[in-house]
Amino acid sequence: KVHVLCNNAGIGVFGHSETCDMRNWHWVVDVNLWGVVHGLQAFVPLMLAHGEPAHVSSTASMAGMAGLRGAGPYNATKFAVVGIMETFAAEHRKDNLSASVLCPGLVATNIATSTRNRQDKYGGASRPSDRGISATELAKGLNPDAVGRQVLEAILDGQFYIFTDPSLRHIIETRSKRILQGYDWAANCKALKGEKQAGPLPGGLLTK
């Protein structure tokens, strides 16, 4: 029986969205996004079948909470993982199945050298690009073992969003303020004056 699933496969692809090689686009989507989808489809039916308490945790990134300049394709996949897990948590709220999404800051992994494992159909292996976060910078990051212990603690505590670096809180606060400012602007938007709105979605929003 499977009681805990951690979708953690990930690669780093750097470059601007409009100029990044399409093979790199396909590569990062196939690993970072489809890896999560395949994990859910392979294991969640088994978890639901045994009916015992179970948990799914998927790794996104702080780049799934706020855009990281020069990493459009990577950001896109990590925002997608956050969205998938928010929806998944809401869909299974009444099941014996909980969920979380890990949004780490810098962690001392080998993701900066992902291109050494790139398959031929995506352009083949190559030396790491100097446009993104370097292996030297990542080496200064958090110990991966500490992150593993944190994820276990979060699962036991029922914590959905798992952030590894409290000092990055201002990034979330800044983005939240910009989103709310967008709503303030919409409330006074001349183009919307007198227009009928649909109102809340049927069944309410998917997120808590």
Does 205 reside within a domain?
no
DSSP structure string for 112-127: GGGGGG--GGGT---P
Does 39 reside within a domain?
yes
pLDDT in tens, 42-84: 999 999 999 999 999 999 999 999 988 888 999 999 999 999 9
CA distance 150 to 1: 23
Residue 136 and residue 165 in contact, taking contact as beta carbons nearer than 8 Å = no
Does 187 reside within a domain?
no
| Domain of 22, in residue numbers | 4-166
CA distance 133 to 110: 11
Does 115 reside within a domain?
yes
Q: At 51, which CATH number?
A: 3.40.50.720
Residue 161 known to be catalytic: no
pLDDT in tens, 115-160: 667 887 877 887 766 555 666 776 677 899 999 999 999 999 999 9
- Please report the pLDDT score of residue 87 as a whole number: 95
The total of structural domains in the chain comes to 1
Does 151 reside within a domain?
yes
- Give me the residue label for tokens 């780093």: 12
- Please choose, from the candidates 141, 74, 54, 145, the residue with its C-alpha nearest in 3D space to the C-alpha of residue 106: 141
Does the model's pTM come out above 0.85?
Answer: yes
Does 152 reside within a domain?
yes
Could you tell me the CA-to-CA distances from 180 to 66, 67, 168 in Å, in that order? 15, 17, 19
Cβ neighbours of residue 150 closer than 8 Å, sequence gap 6 or more = 162, 164
Instruction: Answer yes or no: is pLDDT of 208 > 60.
Output: no
